[in-house]
Amino acid sequence: MSHHLFLLSPSDTPLYNLTHYSSKPSQSTSSPLASNLPSWSTSAFAGTLTALSGASSATQTQHGQGGTVKIGAGQDRHVIQMIANASLDAIEEVMRKDSVMYLKSVDKFNEWTVSAFVTPGNMKFVLLHESRNDDGIKAFFSDVWELYVKTMLNPFHTAHTPIRSAVFDSRVRASAKKYL
């Protein structure tokens, strides 16, 4: 069960991303169609699902058929990024109206749920995950926020540039292991 975290600046440039494979047992979420079908056919059905849901999936079906057989709909790197990008619209819409920082789950795509956290400086933290874990995700976002504030306070760090510190990376991983 994996999680993907993206940190985006207010102008939507990616500043940091992380893929984390959790060892915690995942709660069984029903992805309605996929669970009854053998795994080799979910990639084919994923195309239909997304076409029905109206997502811009033209590129995704090509990738789905062109590459090797995948389990579920979202194991590819570019599919993950496409899901994250598509959720930005939903995030922006909620962000304008709601004055909380932790926007719970803003978007759903097959079995992936997208949760978001918006800082006061309008930085977006986007997390793709498969199972529900509201408390853990909230604690994780708070941790990442704290780490981000500490990074920002560094006078040598130019704002809205990619974060490359290895210490930041290791801290985020440790936090992910703890909460996710």
Partner 1 sequence: MSYAQPHARFSVLSNSSLSSGEHLSPAASSSRFSLPSAPSINTTSTPKPGARPNIYDRQLNKTRTTEVSSAAFAFLFSEVVQYTQKRVSGINDLERRLNTLGYRIGTRVLELMSWRTESASKAPKRETRFLPALMSIHTHVWRAVFGKAADAIEKSVENSDEYMIIDNDPPITRNISVPRDMSSLSCSSFTAGIVEAVLDGLGFSARVTAHNTPNDQFPNRTTILIKLEKSVLEREEALKT
- Stretch of residues binding partner 1 (CB under 8 A), selected from 28-36, 51-59, 62-70, 156-164: 156-164
Cβ contacts of residue 87 below 8 Å, gap of 6+?
106, 107, 109, 114, 116, 126
Q: Is 167 in the site for partner 1 (CB under 8 A)?
A: yes
Q: How far is the CB of 2 from partner 1 (least distance, A)?
A: 20
Stretch binding partner 1 (CB under 8 A), from 32-40, 46-54, 70-78, 117-125: 117-125
Sequence letter at residue 168: F
Instruction: Decide whether 112 or 148 has the Cβ nearer to partner 1.
Output: 148
Asked if residues 180 and 133 have their Cβ atoms less than 8 Å apart, the reply is yes
The minimum distance between CB 65 and partner 1, in angstroms, equals 35
* Contact status: 12 vs partner 1 (CB under 8 A): no
SS3 8: strand
Structure tokens at 49: 């699902």
Cα 34 to chain centroid, rounded: 20
Long-range CB contact pairs, 26-33, < 8 A, 24+? 26/1, 26/130, 26/131, 27/131, 27/132, 27/133, 29/111, 29/130, 29/131, 29/132, 31/72, 31/110, 31/111
- Per-residue binding string, partner 1, 123-152, x by CB under 8 A, is -------------------x--xxxxxxxx
Task: State yes or no: residue 169 binds partner 1 (CB under 8 A).
Answer: yes
Judged by CB under 8 A, which of 69, 171, 178, 180 binds partner 1?
Answer: 171
Residues 70-109 that bind partner 1 (CB under 8 A): 95-102
Cβ proximity to partner 1: between 112 and 145 the closer is 145
Quickly tell me which residue has 């853990």 as its tokens. Answer: 136
* Token pair for 160: 């809205």
Site for partner 1 in 23-42 (CB under 8 A): none
Residues within the interface to partner 1 (CB under 8 A): 10, 95-102, 118-122, 142, 145-156, 159, 164-171, 174
